[in-house]
Amino acid sequence: MKIRATVNTIRDLAVNYNRLGSTFYQDQDAKQLIISSLEKIHSGGYQEGGKEYGNWWNWEIGIPKSLNEVLILMGDEVPDDLKQKLIRATAYFQPDPMYSGVSEGAKYSTSKNVRVSTGGNRTDTSTVSLGRGLLTRDEGEVKRAIEAIYDVGELQNGIRDTNDATLNDGFYHDGSFIQHSSVAYSGTYASVLIEGLGLFAYMLKDSPSFQFSDPKIDNIYESILNGYKWLLVNGGMNDSVNGRAITRAKSSDVTRAQSFINSISLFMDGAPEKYKSDLQGLIKRTLLEQNYELKDAPNDTVRNILRNILEDDNIKPMQTVGVKRFPFMDRVVQKSDKGTVVIAMHSNRTAAYESMNGENLQGWYTGDGMTYVYDNQSTDSYTNYWHNVDPYMIPGTTESRDARKNSSGQRRYLKDRSSKTFVGGVDNGIKIDGSQGNADKAIIAMDFTSYNDKTTAKKSWVMLGDMVLALGSNITSEDQEEVITTIDNRVLNGQQTLTQSGDTVYFTDPATLQTISYKVLDNAEIKTLIEKGQDNSTEFAKIWVNHGKKPKDASYAYLIMPGYTADEVNRFDKATIQILKQNAQQDAVKVGNSLFVNFFEAGEVGNLSVDKPLSVIKIEENGRLDIYAADPTLLIEDEINLSVLGKYLLKEGNNVTSIILDDKTKFTFKLDDHQKYFSAVEESQETSEITQETINSNNTDDSPGNSTASTSQENSEDSSTVATNNIVDTNVETSENVVEDTSNNNEVAVEGVQESDSEEEQLIDQTSSEQIAFSQMYLDKYAKMLKNMTDVDISIIDNFNYDHYFTATLSESNKHGLGGRFQTGFNQSLNNHTKIGAFAEYRYNDINQLGLGANARWYDFSSFIRYRHVFDRSAHADYLDLYLGYDKTFTFNQLSIQPRVGVLGSYLLDNKLPDNGKLDNHFAVQTQLSSKFNYHIGGVALYVEPTWKVNLDDSYHLKLNGKEYELNRSRQEWIGKIGVTKNIGNYTFDFSVQTNNHQERKMIATFNYQF
């Protein structure tokens, strides 16, 4: 756009007009040229009421940012009337830092609608407002700019299915950065965002009136360290996160890294000390890798910051080694002392690539599994790459040779995205709580379908620390041309040589003897070719495998070995890598004691099986089992069952349960933030470590028979506790208990019974001391089921005064998630003091309950009898409930008090539990005492309601796998509840929050209709 280009030229001239030593320093002709050019910009259309022709960004961001810089640089040397006209023009085109597309002129642009400004654009709009506020000395506008820019520090939690191009934009907690809703843009848009933050931090750091400080900004420092230490490679910004900018003229991954370093330097200068040293180390590493020259710094401020970092011997270059997954932008990086591999994928969450404004017209396959492979020497691997590479042969991709149209198949928008969700993987850095730590192994998956859905493949990468195994399976195509897997398509820098020897191809640097090597592990024929690029000058070396036309179930397998010497490659033993499965269902590889599996479908590989699509690493060593699992789809919320061959006892894990069935162990768990880690030990090893006197509180004992179970001690608070002699909690008092073994009539001492602080359900194994079953998974399962079955709801009594009623309640609990209750019934008056009625109800909260009953009310006494059927997919129970209670309301002006006391009896008629479990018939008794305090004001009632429940019955008896257990319910429960009620005619609306002594918190919304 001509106006923007002119403004940028004026800005450069203004910089030189104010720079001591410049040819134009204080030159009056230069000054007049600046002023006359500004007049022409205004008269040429950049004015109040103007129209935004073409790209909106020029009018709302590009031009006003540069104009602000010119006006600040020139100060009073620009006539005041001209200055004010230009300031009003910027306020017309970009009036609010929170939004874009606000002006009347926006309807003529490429983006006509008003929308929230996000990501890098938000920092730009905020910068425009900041500059204008400083020029006009408008404190309100400066404050709005500061408040608006803080929002860019709000981390996103997950990709949303939306057509809104802004809702997904920004940084994610895994270090990803998304712009334009689906494009990985850490290298350009994020760099702009950080540049804007740096400008704010630098300009406001000494301000007596404004502070640039917000907890959200710390998120940006965290994201920089979490992401860019992986994405900055050999002095360049890896092009997998540079979007369409990869094809910009006179730019490369190195120049983009320089821009990023310039941007981060100002921002880093004001960083808290806990981040500053790491940021300095990252900057120093990148400067040294690219042989940065300080003369290339954009200004003296940045130059001085960078000089101080380079010259300070106490600042050490950051070292980064390991594997890093970016699930929210479908990127993966492996760094080692030998080299780096980066994988760029796409899924239903992310775009295949972006093409816009004539840029990246042929970036078709850059997100189809492209692999960037670096040794640790070269900084020019991608310097002259994108304008010259054959766009049909992108390293790591499997594509047909069918002709493509420019900018086709970007898959940026929701309606166009790939249908495939299984893209991502798992690494061995997952911690017990599901958070991410350092990893050095991973398996990555891409369920691939081409832009036209005619070519499909299952692609996997096993990342082994300093090499990567690339696998392709189930390669099938209906396209007309040949399908090829491009292993590499690399620029030869004039020194490298290409050598093929049998199943191995080397790129060798004679100066270092380092190679980038590829070793084929199957019988595929490798093809190589050296040819000129599109500029007819740059040499490219191509390596590929040809799968032929319309292949069905084709495959490939090759090792990527960056930084190895030719001798190391030749001596490498391929037998150390065992490919166990390579098909449409699973890719599985065994290396040493580690098994790597991508379960594209639920199934079994060797001695490992899962019931959900999952990526898994299983490591077995010296009787210890470590399991790392993750969901590449980011969609699984249900429980997962994972089974291994062998008898294992759970050692550590968060909300993981285990059960031994014959010669296998089944682990059941839910994922924490889409991933999970837990460990177990062989049953025989665990038994040998246990003595009568000393029991490790983190371990579980062995058990005879075909079925034993255990659970992690890190279970959530609503999990039941177990009273057996193998658990000692050093934080609670223990006591001796004597229970009767019902199988042999011997009395045995069971030591170390845990006194549960929260009085949750307990299960006591009634077998001999030689037969104590470590069935904690069962204990949790049945004890929790018992709680759900017997924690009976009596809220139906609140409806006994209505002739006809319907009540719907929704609740959200921190322990049980979403629950609901629906009640309907009628009541018939027999006289002034007596009513009888009938009701039906359905309740869901971890388990389903259906109830049918009859009720009566006489004076202030209420009673009901109810048949209740409790069920889920694997269990059911039938109860008969009988309730008798008394409640009365006392009113004092605006205050009313309703005390209530009641007794509830529940008789267990019949039941069927999982794994052939059976509870004996049982009569449970519970008393409840509560009082509701209502304060009525303006048609609304505010209330507080404390409740005390006490269970008076004896233990339940459970028969399970030939043994008997006692199930002890918690004796008492305290509940505190506050809420608000509003009556509108026959309708009542109630909202409340409550908590109890078991740390359960719940929000409850109730709607009642009386008719």
The series of mean pLDDT values per 10 residues for the chain, 1011 residues long, is: 86 93 94 96 94 94 95 95 96 96 92 89 94 94 94 85 76 94 94 90 84 88 95 96 95 94 89 92 95 88 94 96 97 97 97 96 98 86 91 98 96 92 98 94 98 98 98 97 97 85 89 88 94 91 97 97 93 95 97 97 95 98 96 96 96 94 94 96 66 34 41 39 31 30 32 35 40 46 65 86 92 88 94 92 89 94 95 86 93 89 93 79 91 90 94 80 71 92 91 92 94 84
CA 265 to chain centroid, in Å, comes to 29
**Residue 397, amino acid:** T
CA dist., res. 713 & res. 251, Å (int): 55
Residues 393, 534: contact at Cβ < 8 Å?
A: no
318: DSSP letter: P
* CB-CB neighbours of 735 under 10 Å: 9
Q: What is the dihedral of CA 138, 144, 149, 151, to 10 degrees?
A: 170
Q: Provide CB contacts within 8 A for 487, sequence distance 6+.
A: 395, 396, 470, 505, 518, 526, 543, 544, 545, 558
Query: What is residue 206's three-state secondary structure?
Result: coil
| b (16+ CB within 10 A) / e for 949-987 | bebeeebbbbebbebbbbbbbbeebebebebebeeeeee
pTM for the complete prediction? Answer: 0.68
Domain range annotation of the chain: 154-312, 325-682, 790-1009
pLDDT of residue 750: 26
Q: Which residue has the tokens 């039906």?
A: 840
Sign of CA dihedral 893, 975, 787, 957: negative
pLDDT of residue 781: 57
Q: Which residue has the tokens 């010296």?
A: 622
**Which contiguous run of DSSP H or E holds residue 642?**
strand 640-645
The vertex-834 CA angle with 830 and 837, nearest 5°, equals 75
**CATH no. of 325-682:** 2.70.98.10
Residues 777, 711: contact at Cβ < 8 Å?
A: yes
CA dist., res. 160 & res. 771, Å (int): 52
* Known catalytic residue at 292: no
Strands 922-937 and 918-919: unpaired
Determine phi and psi for 90, rounding to 5 degrees: -65, -35
**Burial environment of residue 228 by CB neighbours within 10 A (0 to 12, 13 to 18, 19 or more):** buried
Residues 297, 308: contact at Cβ < 8 Å?
A: no
Where does residue 477 fall: left (phi above 0), alpha (psi -120 to 50 degrees), or beta otherwise?
A: beta
Q: Which residue has the tokens 């449970």?
A: 924
Query: What is residue 758's three-state secondary structure?
Result: coil
Choose among 571, 518, 568: nearest CA to 545.
518
pLDDT of residue 382: 87
Strands 514-520 and 526-532: unpaired
Which CATH number applies to 790-1009: 2.40.128, 3.30.70, 2.40.160, 1.20.1630? 2.40.128
* Known catalytic residue at 307: no
Sign of CA dihedral 685, 688, 691, 692: positive
pLDDT of residue 384: 86
CA dist., res. 48 & res. 65, Å (int): 16
The vertex-965 CA angle with 961 and 966, nearest 5°, equals 160
CA dist., res. 54 & res. 357, Å (int): 10
Residues 140, 157: contact at Cβ < 8 Å?
A: no
| b (16+ CB within 10 A) / e for 674-691 | bbbbbbbbbbeebeeebe
- Which residues are registered as beta bridge partners of 447? 458
- Tell me if 325-682 shares its fold with 790-1009: no
Active-site residue, selected from the candidate residues 144, 244, 417, 868: 244
Active-site residue, selected from the candidate residues 46, 92, 150, 189: 189
Residues 383, 400: contact at Cβ < 8 Å?
A: no
| Joined tokens for residue 979 | 């809420």
Determine phi and psi for 128, rounding to 5 degrees: -60, -45
Active-site residue, selected from the candidate residues 180, 256, 857, 900: 180
CA dist., res. 1008 & res. 605, Å (int): 54
Choose among 393, 364, 373: nearest CA to 485.
393
**Burial environment of residue 657 by CB neighbours within 10 A (0 to 12, 13 to 18, 19 or more):** buried
CA dist., res. 178 & res. 198, Å (int): 20
* Known catalytic residue at 189: yes
Choose among 615, 676, 436: nearest CA to 667.
676
Determine phi and psi for 53, rounding to 5 degrees: -85, 130
* CB-CB neighbours of 505 under 10 Å: 24
* CB-CB neighbours of 487 under 10 Å: 27
Determine phi and psi for 871, rounding to 5 degrees: -160, 155
pLDDT of residue 299: 87
- Which residues are registered as beta bridge partners of 851? 841, 868
Helix, strand, coil: what percent of the chain each, to 5?
25, 40, 35
| Joined tokens for residue 102 | 């606000």
Choose among 714, 813, 756: nearest CA to 972.
756
Determine phi and psi for 757, rounding to 5 degrees: -60, -35
Residues 523, 486: contact at Cβ < 8 Å?
A: no
Q: Tell me the residue length of the chain.
A: 1011
**Burial environment of residue 661 by CB neighbours within 10 A (0 to 12, 13 to 18, 19 or more):** middle
Choose among 607, 591, 590, 608: nearest CA to 599.
608
Is CATH 2.60.40.420 the right assignment for the domain spanning 154-312?
Answer: no
- Which residues are registered as beta bridge partners of 388? none
Query: What is residue 366's three-state secondary structure?
Result: coil
Choose among 262, 290, 264: nearest CA to 278.
264
Query: What is residue 761's three-state secondary structure?
Result: coil
